A and B are shown apart, each in its own frame.
Chain A
Amino acid sequence: MFRLLMQELKFRGNAIIGWGLGLCFFPLVYISIYPSVADEMAGLADLEIYQAMGVSLGNFSDWVGSILLIFLPLVAAIYAIINGTGTLAGEEEDGRLEMIVTLPLPRWKIVAAKALALSIASFFIILVVAVVSLIVLQGMEGQFEAGFGGMELLSAVLFTWPLVFATGMIAMFLATFCSSRRFASIISAAILVVGYFGSNLSASTAALEPFEPFFLFTYLDASGQAVIDGQATGDVLVLLGTGLVAFALAVFFFQRRKLTVGAWPWQRAKVEA
């Protein structure tokens, strides 16, 4: 399994660099422009549309929470969905999976290696952003009152990873369950988007309140206070637990899957049973 893991990480090397550098856009731009927009943003703090999006811009920690702790995991989760659905369902659709499943490896190890590779890759992508955030913040020292230190920022960004992990594992589970990459991607994206808006809207809409525990973003505190104090341990555990349950389901369904590798059953000659 270690060998497959190393190979899978090698495949994801470019993604780590590409997505990591791409997502550095957030800290590079949004932290560096903060001093010039701080006063203007403070005046927009109470807009309902921002509340619906979970955005609060009253001070720097709120600004960082709103930008980095919402949009970073949201975009990183898209990577996790693309990768989580592409890694088994995608390989099955284009036929490459046959070379992998005919190796002398048990199937659970194949899923585990790919899940681990996805988790490590997504962690490194976020780590790159966290380090760049730290560097940008250090570089702007003295220009404004941040209200928290570099290590708090680093930690706040890194703790967005459990949500990305949970999303990736859900995508992987859906890919092993329904075998269609497209279908798995659509459902995973729907879970992500509904989870994001649902979590924010349920805070202000009584009708949605009962559903709040089912939205992934409920377990990611994007407030300025969370940047300073960190995420609640319980929330982190819920996200990690969700990811692990989804991983276990992925293993279970992949173990039982009749892989189609190439032609779909309905493309084969039909005979009466």
Chain B
Amino acid sequence: MTNNVIETKDLTVYYGKHRGIIDVNLTVEKGEVFGFLGPNGAGKTTTQRVLLDVFPPSSGRASVFGLDCQAEGVELRSRIGYLPGELALYSNMKASEFFKMYEYLRGENGSKDYWRELADRLDLDTSRKIRQFSRGNKQKVGVVAAFMSRADLLVLDEPTGGLDPLVQKTVLEMVREAKADGRTIFFSSHILSEVQAVCDRVGIIRDGRLVATQRVEDLFAQRMNRMSLIFDGAPSASTFDFDGVTELDRSEQSIMLEVRENLPLVLEAAAKHNVRDIETHNISLEEIFLAYYSKENGAENV
């Protein structure tokens, strides 16, 4: 029996002639936090909306908990807590009224104390009308609504958008706790630090196509070192001509290298040319992510 909570096969959505997503093949396993990365308009929200049957795919298929997203949408939505990216709420309601309504409409009872607990945790005043809320407080309402049903799968579209850093941290803690409870989280974002902080795996979507899926730890295992070497006089271009080493920049006295392998050879060569100083820094997940977007043709993996 498959352990996949989400599975998509050649999932494609077109809005008329406009591209939504193209041939997205994706799996999210039970109990994992999957980070769905991509800039605005890449297709993150479209993918999530197909999973919730907000609209049908143009071709391909998607299933959640083994249930077809179109044919069995009602059943699967009862097991999903959803935070939309473009959150629109009933502004004339108090936050508490909204949570009661949402709980009532989902046909759930017994989460009363839980939404209060979540609201307290996010420092949300539920006695105020939603129209009086700032963007951040409205986002808190959406976060509470997504978490309050203790659903098996959380689909969160940029959950920390508009939140202050302290609350962002709390939301990420809530994600970790949900994972610890054995729940699955499908988490879209373009904030890499938070993806790095909570996700087990990431998928990178570009222009509607899923260009890579990898474990976060594997991405880091592949990360590169960038190294600046300062000399009295920079050596010739062929000095660091080793496999896995790329010269990025040079001046009269310095050379900048990208070193993926053969670090001892680089150091040995540098020592032969009276190196005065060496500066190194690791390439972040953000830079790896940006590397995907700088490539002209879609890459399969890093």
Contacts and interface: CB of A to CB of B under 8 A. Distances in A.
B215 to A, nearest CB: 29
B298 interface: no
A268 B41 contact: yes
A200 to B, nearest CB: 40
A96 B54 CA distance: 12
Contacts of B203: none
A262 B84 CA distance: 11
B18 A102 contact: no
Interface string B1-27: 000000000000011111110000000
A268 B74 contact: no
Contacts of B102: 99
A104 B107 contact: yes
B18 A268 contact: yes
Interface in A85-134: 94-96, 98-106
A258 B54 CA distance: 7
Interface in B59-107: 73-75, 77-78, 80, 82, 84, 86-90, 101-102, 104-107
B33 interface: no
B105 A3 contact: yes
Interface residues of A, number: 30
Contacts of A100: 105
B52 A102 contact: yes
A271 B18 contact: yes
Contact of B18 (A104, A257, A265): A265
A102 B15 contact: no
Contact of B16 (A257, A261, A262, A265): A265
B90 A96 contact: yes
Nearest to B56: A258
A258 B75 contact: no
A273 B14 contact: yes
Contact of A269 (B19, B56, B74, B80): B19
B19 A271 contact: yes
B86 A262 contact: yes
A88 to B, nearest CB: 14
A268 B54 contact: no
Contact of B88 (A7, A11, A99, A104): A99
Contacts of A103: 77, 105-106
B235 interface: no
B150 interface: no
B39 to A, nearest CB: 10
A104 B14 contact: no
B41 A96 contact: no
A187 interface: no
B103 to A, nearest CB: 10
Contacts of B114: none
A153 B198 CA distance: 69
B154 to A, nearest CB: 12
Contacts of B105: 3-4, 7, 100, 103, 105
B86 to A, nearest CB: 4
Q: Which of B75, B77, B102, B208 has the most CB of A within 10 A?
A: B77
A15 to B, nearest CB: 12
A98 B107 contact: no
Interface in A149-205: none
B86 A104 contact: no
Interface string B149-192: 00000000000000000000000000000000000000000000
Contacts of A266: 16, 18
A101 to B, nearest CB: 6
A263 B88 CA distance: 13
Contact of A99 (B49, B55, B89): B89
B19 A104 contact: no
B88 A94 contact: yes
B102 to A, nearest CB: 8
Given A98-B49, A99-B88, A265-B18, 7 more contacts: A102-B54, A102-B77, A105-B74, A105-B105, A268-B19, A268-B20, A270-B18
Interface of B: 14-20, 41, 49, 52-56, 73-75, 77-78, 80, 82, 84, 86-90, 101-102, 104-107, 145, 207-208
22 contacts: A7-B104, A7-B105, A94-B88, A96-B89, A99-B145, A101-B52, A101-B54, A102-B82, A103-B77, A103-B105, A104-B78, A105-B77, A262-B86, A262-B88, A265-B16, A266-B16, A266-B18, A268-B15, A270-B18, A270-B19, A271-B19, A271-B207
Interface of A: 3-4, 7, 11, 94-96, 98-106, 257-263, 265-266, 268-271, 273
